[in-house]
């Protein structure tokens, strides 16, 4: 415990991989995000599509890591179990925050927006593209509910494997959400913690850009 405590209190890394200025930022935040995501893919950042999704109900925040699985002109798509904690929270409060952090590039993007379910056809098409075991897992898992014994989950998986001998249909309780952004914040690490931060806020059809203190 002592070594861990000492490490987290004293370990320091500085940032020196990039600079953001008013001259080199992209005016459209969707294009800017796509550019940074592409940079992360080209630089072979591990799981560049991973992000933290924050929800809040009754003033209690919840956070978890998900995978981005769709880029649309109006927003960003992820998939989940509608009956799990996440789905129940989104039903009560669709306002969310997404956070992408690419440590290798010393970059972060925070997005706030509103989540809503995608059209069933979109969920059907994505579900059909998943590996069979992942499809069966969506049926077998009663997400977020207590599991007394892991073998019970394995038994349910085997049951659905026998039930769906060929194609596995999408469960009605599983599908996608699209987050329509209301704001973006682009963060580039800089030396001495004097980071670059640019906030994009939506004002009708315009995006107002502000530089923030680090």
Q: Six-digit token pair at 137?
A: 């897992």
Residues forming the active site: 193
Contact 48, 40 (CB under 8 A): yes
Pairwise CA distance, residues 151 & 156, whole Å: 9
Neighbours of 56 (CB within 10 A): 15
Q: By CB neighbour count within 10 A (0-12 exposed, 13-18 middle, 19+ buried), where does 96 fall?
A: buried
Tell me the sheet residues that pair with 177.
78, 117
Nearest to 186 by CA among 39, 78, 6: 39
The DSSP letter of residue 43 is T
Beta strand segments in the chain, E:
50-57, 60-67, 70-72, 75-81, 95-102, 107-117, 174-188, 196-203, 206-212
Q: 3-class DSSP state for residue 153?
A: helix
Pairwise CA distance, residues 106 & 186, whole Å: 11
């Amino acid at each position: 415990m002592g070594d861990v405590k000492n490490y987290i209190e004293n370990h320091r890394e500085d940032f020196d991989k990039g600079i953001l200025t008013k001259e080199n930022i992209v005016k459209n935040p969707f294009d800017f995000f796509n550019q940074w995501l592409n940079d992360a893919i080209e630089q072979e950042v591990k799981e560049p599509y991973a992000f933290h999704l924050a929800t809040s109900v009754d003033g209690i925040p919840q956070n978890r890591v998900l995978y981005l699985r769709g880029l649309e002109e109006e927003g960003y798509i992820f998939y989940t179990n509608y009956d799990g904690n996440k789905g129940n929270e989104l039903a009560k409060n669709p306002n969310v925050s997404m956070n992408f952090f690419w440590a290798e590039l010393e970059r972060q993007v925070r997005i706030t927006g509103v989540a809503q379910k995608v059209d069933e056809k979109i969920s059907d098409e994505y579900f059909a593209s998943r590996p069979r075991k992942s499809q069966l897992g969506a049926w077998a898992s009663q997400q977020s509910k207590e599991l007394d014994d892991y073998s019970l989950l394995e038994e349910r998986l085997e049951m659905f494997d026998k039930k769906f001998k060929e194609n596995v249909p999408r469960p009605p309780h599983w599908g996608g959400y699209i987050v329509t952004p209301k704001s973006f914040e682009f963060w580039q690490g800089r030396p001495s913690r004097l980071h670059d931060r640019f906030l994009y806020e939506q004002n009708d059809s315009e995006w107002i850009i502000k530089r923030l203190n680090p």
